[in-house]
Structure 1
Amino acid sequence: MSGSQKKRFFAQHAKSSAALVSLGIHAILLVVALSFVAVTVITKEEQKFETKNVNRPRMPMKKLQVPVNIKKKKTQKPKLRKRIVVQPKLNQNMPDIKMPEITGVKGGIGGGVGDGLGGGGGVGFSMPEIEIFGVKSKGEKIFVILDSTAWMMYDEIGGIPAYTVIKEELVNILGGLSPTVLFNIAVFDNGSAVSRFPKMVPANSVNVGAVDEWIRSLNAVKKGMGDKDYGNHTLGSGGTRLPREYTVAPLQHTRHWSTPAMLAMEQQADTVFILTQGWGWQFHETADAKQWSESKMAKWRDLQEQAKQKLKEENEERRKKGEPPRVLIGWSLVSAYFPGAEHPPQPERYWYTPKEMLEGLSSHREANKSNVPTTSGLGKRSQKKEKFSINVIHFVRKDHISEKDQDRFKKLTAIANGSYKTLSGLEAIQSSASGR
């Protein structure tokens, strides 16, 4: 078809073409409108639904029951059997068993293992108790110190008969201890100190019997007793002589009861009993005595000789009556027969305080501490120092008591976890003895 023919065709069908164009435009608008509606429907918000709690019935759970058949056992009536009863023999001689140095076992092996096994937690037994003349203490390593100086035999304290009661009481007390308890005993006088055993031993009948035999002749009352039949030289056979003195800071030296007390610390005693008449020579000299005139000294010597003669005559009369001699020494010898006589001047002295005495004893104890463990390792080991107690039975005169000595002993026992008691005269000693 040529170009002229095309023009004539559109000219002839002009209205038809316009209708087609209009129809196409409307079709497009219809599609757009439908698309807008579809998009609008799709982008609507979602509807939210709320749920309601519905109570549903629940079935209770049943316990599982398992049938158990219990068969009743037939009990038989007990049959009587014959039993042989043997009464134990008392006071049997126990063998002298050498025991190691065990400082932590409280109450012995059989008497109580409580604080010893493990320190902090033991089986629960308590430590053994001991009571001497009413003074009570506890311990499983006991050291007894007995004064045998002349002053202990003075009539005002009770004389030699009172000393016999003291010895008997000690043997009685030691005999009542458990054989598992360790002990030792020492005797001192003005010039020496002797212990019965070189170390702690069990308190069995054999060792207690050895003590009884050892001190039986000590200051013993006997027929025809001499004026000087007292002191350590009257002890029986056996014993270990102690050093004359110890030098342990702050103490320059020890005398009387403090010397055996040092041995007690060496042997790690946890309970010490001191039976004495006084504080003793616990001092050191700081200056010489002042000069005394020759005339005064000559008069003093004359009074001493006269006093000795009077004492000799008095003791001869006592022997005729079967009585023990009277004991007097030093200045008290002159004062007994010549009251108010002037005494020679003394050197200047520094008396050790109770605190210094305890410091020296504690220092010596630590220096001689055994390498044997104090606990078995079953419990927590205590880091605290082992405690020990010092107890004093102070025998004093009826007519006079030294307030200084009394005050010193009270302070010492207070800071050393111990107890203190005074006894004056034979009757007081007898009434305090356990066996009387």
Structure 2
Amino acid sequence: MLMKVIVISVLLHVVAGFVAGLVTIATHVMKDEASFEEPPAVEEEQPPPDVKVEIKPQAAPSVQPLNNLKMRQVGNISVASVNVDLPGMSDNFTVSAGIGNIAGGGLMRGARGSIGMGMSDVSVFGLKTRAERILFVIDANRRMVTDAKGGLNSYQVIKDEITDMVGNLSAGTLFNVILHDHRRTLMFKPQLVPAGLDIHQELVTWVSKVNSNAANPGLEGVAGARNPQLQTMKDNPLHELLPWSGHSGNVAAFLTQFALEQTADAVFFITGKHRGFGNFWAKPSEKARKEFEEYRATKAYQEQLAKHDLEVVEMRKRIESELAKINADRAKKGMPPRVLAHRDGVHGNARELGLNWKTRHPGGGPREEVLDPVEVRRYFKDLVQVLYEDRAKSPPSLNVVLFLAGDEVFKPEWEKELDQYVRFFNGKDRVIRGADEIKSARSSKDTTNN
């Protein structure tokens, strides 16, 4: 019985040990195997194609100033619309006057002031501007060298003012000088030319020959002086009036158009007469011509004209005698001969010397009609449109230095007309009287450019 109990006990311990072993295996061995279960399948992706990248050694990073930044080419960048106004490829132009001149054109004519190549500060008798293409138009008429204005000495001041200004221009600036005697003109060069030392000296020599002596004032007998032909708006009815009359308004309008046709940025007129768009005369009306023909056919007209014509010979002798006395007295004082404002005009010379006629001229023709300044202004508005605005160019500024005698009459309404003229062309004006004032008005010698 005892043996049976022992056997059963042994069997129970064996079974218990076997069960305990299974539990131990399940707890340790089977658990570790579970950690090596195959994970879910993952779809294999194709690697990207090989890319060759060149890696260059780089310096240690440092903060660079903005002016050392380098530009790299990039694409697909959107920017705001920018208006770039440059001349078309059909236009002749220069990149810089200092580099070369092609047909007298200018790169900056279509975009003046945007880059500033060849720009110069300009000051002429106190009138200042800044420009790349500059034109000086100087009155050389004998009225500019009369005693009342200081004679030849005052005109020398004008020549010095212009030549000094040209000498102080930047090398890339284009310029030209035009002398005129009424509508008769003499150009320094056929077109605008680059400033520089050599051309400056050439200008000094060229201008020194004009109004250098009292015997040959103005452009009288000067080789190369001519009456130019205006090239623009020939079909406009007012166009034919510019060269038709010798009145100061017609001459000023003629020279204005001639200057505008030179395509400068800034124009400086130095003249002895200017009333802006005023004093512009048109041809007599048919009625005025008919009335004059009737008057000229009368006996009274014919008799007065005959007496006057006889007196003309006597008046010429009186003028010569009076002028000889004046010049003899001037010679004793070391002064040059007196220059009269009119060349051969017996009537103008007699009036200037204070000599009176016994019998006045009965009248030389039908009275002309003064054109409304509004009509003249409208003509130049159209002219600027044709020459500049239609070609996407900026019109030039027109400036006027009016040189008068100390006591010369210049009515307030005339001054107003001149002011309106320069405002129309975005310019300035200045009235200078007599020798002392023109000397003190000089400003170009103090104007410098790099």
Residue in 1 that maps onto 2:367: 348
The percentage of counterpart residues that share the same residue type is 22
Is 1:187 aligned to 2:199, yes or no?
no
Kindly state the Cα deviation for residue 137 of structure 1 after the two structures are TM-superposed. 2.3
Gaps of 5+ in 2: 1-59, 63-96, 244-250
Residue in 2 that maps onto 1:85: none
Residue in 2 that maps onto 1:327: 339
* Of 219, 224, 238, the match for 1:232: 219
Residues in 2 aligned to 1:191 and 1:401: alpha-carbon distance in whole angstroms: 23
Aligned CA distance change for structure 1 residues 234 and 140 (closer, same or farther; 3 Å)? farther
Residue in 1 that maps onto 2:77: none
Residues in 2 aligned to 1:217 and 1:171: alpha-carbon distance in whole angstroms: 13
SS in 2 for 1:401: coil
Kindly state the Cα deviation for residue 322 of structure 1 after the two structures are TM-superposed. 3.4
Aligned CA distance change for structure 1 residues 262 and 275 (closer, same or farther; 3 Å)? same
Deviations 1:294-341 (A, max 9, x none): 234544664344123311332244345432221222444212333665
Correspondence list, 1:12-411, <5 A: 97-99=100-102, 101-103=104-106, 105=108, 116=112, 122=114, 128-190=120-182, 192-221=184-213, 225-226=214-215, 229-233=216-220, 241-243=226-228, 248=234, 249=236, 250-255=238-243, 256-279=251-274, 282-286=280-284, 287=288, 291=296, 292=301, 293-294=304-305, 295-296=307-308, 298-299=310-311, 302-328=314-340, 329=342, 330=345, 331-338=347-354, 344=361, 345=363, 347-352=366-371, 355-361=374-380, 363-364=382-383, 367=386, 386-403=394-411, 405-411=414-420
Kindly state the Cα deviation for residue 209 of structure 1 after the two structures are TM-superposed. 2.1
The one-letter amino acid of 2:204's match is: D
Q: Residues 117 and 172 of structure 2 are in contact (CA less than 8 Å); yes or no, is this contact kept in structure 1?
A: no
SS in 2 for 1:144: strand
The one-letter amino acid of 2:415's match is: Q
Aligned CA distance change for structure 1 residues 163 and 234 (closer, same or farther; 3 Å)? farther
Q: Residues 98 and 171 of structure 2 are in contact (CA less than 8 Å); yes or no, is this contact kept in structure 1?
A: no
Decide which moves more: 426-435 or 123-132: 123-132
Aligned CA distance change for structure 1 residues 284 and 72 (closer, same or farther; 3 Å)? closer
The one-letter amino acid of 2:421's match is: L
Residue in 1 that maps onto 2:28: none
Deviations 1:174-205 (A, max 9, x none): 11111211111111113611211111111222
The CA RMSD over aligned residues, in Å, is 3.8
Residue in 2 that maps onto 1:63: none
Residues in 1 aligned to 2:133 and 2:185: alpha-carbon distance in whole angstroms: 20
Residue in 1 that maps onto 2:67: none
- Aligned residue pairs: how many? 318
SS in 1 for 2:228: coil
Q: Residues 122 and 165 of structure 2 are in contact (CA less than 8 Å); yes or no, is this contact kept in structure 1?
A: yes
Residues in 1 aligned to 2:373 and 2:177: alpha-carbon distance in whole angstroms: 22
Q: Residues 117 and 132 of structure 2 are in contact (CA less than 8 Å); yes or no, is this contact kept in structure 1?
A: no
Kindly state the Cα deviation for residue 263 of structure 1 after the two structures are TM-superposed. 3.0
Residues in 1 aligned to 2:377 and 2:123: alpha-carbon distance in whole angstroms: 22
Residues in 2 aligned to 1:367 and 1:202: alpha-carbon distance in whole angstroms: 26
Is 1:414 aligned to 2:409, yes or no?
no
Residues in 2 aligned to 1:124 and 1:276: alpha-carbon distance in whole angstroms: 30
Q: TM-score, normalised by structure 1?
A: 0.62
Kindly state the Cα deviation for residue 370 of structure 1 after the two structures are TM-superposed. 11
Residues in 1 aligned to 2:182 and 2:241: alpha-carbon distance in whole angstroms: 14
Q: Residues 388 and 394 of structure 2 are in contact (CA less than 8 Å); yes or no, is this contact kept in structure 1?
A: no
Aligned CA distance change for structure 1 residues 336 and 260 (closer, same or farther; 3 Å)? closer
Residues in 1 aligned to 2:183 and 2:124: alpha-carbon distance in whole angstroms: 26
Q: Residues 358 and 416 of structure 1 are in contact (CA less than 8 Å); yes or no, is this contact kept in structure 2?
A: no
SS in 1 for 2:108: coil
Q: Residues 146 and 187 of structure 1 are in contact (CA less than 8 Å); yes or no, is this contact kept in structure 2?
A: yes
SS in 1 for 2:321: helix
Residue in 1 that maps onto 2:27: none
The one-letter amino acid of 2:130's match is: K
Kindly state the Cα deviation for residue 233 of structure 1 after the two structures are TM-superposed. 4.0
Q: Residues 147 and 188 of structure 1 are in contact (CA less than 8 Å); yes or no, is this contact kept in structure 2?
A: yes
More helix by share: 2
